[in-house]
Each structure stands twice: as structure tokens, then as C-alpha cells.
């Protein structure tokens, strides 16, 4: 199996070092707009990278293994996940749900532990990935799960048992494949799906500034 290890490349080493040295510092210019409009200026130094793969490939399983590795390196990490249009995090009978049903555009719920903001589109188009990322609080790295058709750097998660074709031959934004076995005919480097450290290296090395998604 070809193992892609960015630490073998000096330019990538410099990028990784710069990212770790900057971890914990407030990125330039925090969130600037809500997803329903406005300019995407001032997103700042947040970097974005994605995980792509067919349902059942193990994107979420990998993400929950790699997140602690990145956090242990001193990075502040947020995630964005694409869901089916019918998803809901609220529950009928709760006051927040009643607010939404009554017509509220946004409902913000807050406690001493966390807060959550729900925005109802009410027939409006789904915001672009760039606009959604612009609503996030400043962090060092944003990992996107899903959005496989969007133009941002992605690591493909591939397991032959899923029975689906490789994505990277048709997606120039996929920089490598993470797999649990050899990938015959792979046109990009392949990383061992079980090597969380190497995968963390690759994600850090290929992440781009969030502002690039607005172009």
C-alpha cells in the first residue's frame, strides 16, 4: 500500500509547523455574515478541509478518531456536516419547537453548558458551504463531512466492502484516499485508514484558507 505521509516533504513540514505554532491564537477577523446574505469578507485564517466518501464508508468513524489527534496538537477544530433535507435536532413539545412552528425565523437556545442556533429557511435556497463556514466562530481548522460536490480539498474515505466506485478519478479536489486495504489503480496517494496520525498530517497539510471557498 502506498502511504502518503506529508511529513516527508519539507514545504509541507513548514505548513504544519506554522499551523501548530498559530494554534490557540485568535484567527484574523471572526465570522462576518449569516448564511442568508452579506459579503464573505474577513473570514480570516481559518483553514478548511473535507472528508468525502459514500454512505457507509466510515467518514464519521474516522472523524471521531482524528479529532482528538488534532486537538492534542493544540488545534481548535470545528466541523460541518451535510445532512438530508428532512433532518431535525429539535423535538415536538419543546418550547423551542413551539417557537419555530409559530413562525420564528431563528431560535437560539442557551444554557451554562452550550448554545445552539436553529435557522429556518422557509423555502429559501440552502446556503453555500462558504456562507455556512462564515457563520462559525474562529478556529484553526474546519473539517467538512459530506459536500462531496463542492470545490474544497478532500480526503476520500474508501472501503471496497461498500461496493461503490472510487470518487477521486472524477474529483480533482481529492488529494488522497484513506482505505483499509490496497486500492488498485489509485491515481492519488493512499493512506492507511487506521493511521490517525498520518491522516491528521494530510488534513493539516492540504487545508486551505476559508476565504478561498468564496472565490
Segment 5-9 shows an average pLDDT of 41
Whether the full predicted model's pTM is greater than 0.75, yes or no, is yes
CA-nearest of 6, 32, 36 to 19 is 6
Query: What CATH architecture is 6-85+126-214?
Result: 3-Layer(aba) Sandwich (3.40)
The more confidently predicted of residues 87 and 104 is: 104
What is the mean pLDDT of the segment spanning 52-79? 95
pLDDT tens for 160-207 read: 999 999 999 999 999 999 999 999 889 999 999 999 999 999 999 999
Note the pLDDT of residue 204: 95
Q: Domain residues of the chain, as ranges?
A: 6-85+126-214, 86-125
pLDDT of 24 reads: 55
Amino acid at each position: 500500500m502506498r502511504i502518503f505521509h506529508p511529513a516527508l516533504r519539507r514545504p509541507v513540514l513548514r505548513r504544519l509547523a506554522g499551523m501548530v505554532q498559530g494554534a490557540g491564537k485568535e484567527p484574523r477577523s471572526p465570522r462576518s455574515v449569516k448564511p442568508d446574505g452579506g459579503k464573505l469578507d474577513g473570514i480570516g485564517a481559518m483553514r478548511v478541509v473535507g472528508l468525502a466518501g459514500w454512505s457507509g464508508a466510515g467518514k464519521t468513524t474516522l472523524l471521531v478518531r482524528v479529532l482528538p489527534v488534532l486537538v492534542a496538537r493544540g488545534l481548535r477544530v470545528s466541523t460541518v456536516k451535510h445532512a438530508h433535507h428532512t433532518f431535525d435536532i429539535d423535538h415536538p413539545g419543546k418550547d423551542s419547537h413551539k417557537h419555530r412552528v409559530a413562525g420564528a425565523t431563528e431560535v437560539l437556545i442557551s444554557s451554562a453548558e452550550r448554545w445552539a442556533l436553529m435557522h429556518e429557511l422557509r423555502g429559501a435556497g440552502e446556503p453555500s458551504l462558504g456562507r455556512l463556514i462564515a457563520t462559525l466562530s474562529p478556529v484553526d481548522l474546519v473539517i467538512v463531512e459530506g459536500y462531496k460536490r463542492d470545490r474544497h480539498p478532500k480526503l476520500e474515505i474508501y472501503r471496497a466492502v461498500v461496493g461503490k466506485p472510487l470518487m477521486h478519478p472524477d474529483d480533482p479536489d481529492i488529494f488522497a484516499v484513506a482505505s483499509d486495504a490496497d486500492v488498485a489503480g489509485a491515481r492519488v496517494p493512499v493512506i492507511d485508514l487506521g493511521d490517525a496520525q498520518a491522516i491528521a498530517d494530510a488534513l493539516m497539510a492540504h487545508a486551505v484558507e476559508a476565504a478561498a471557498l468564496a472565490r
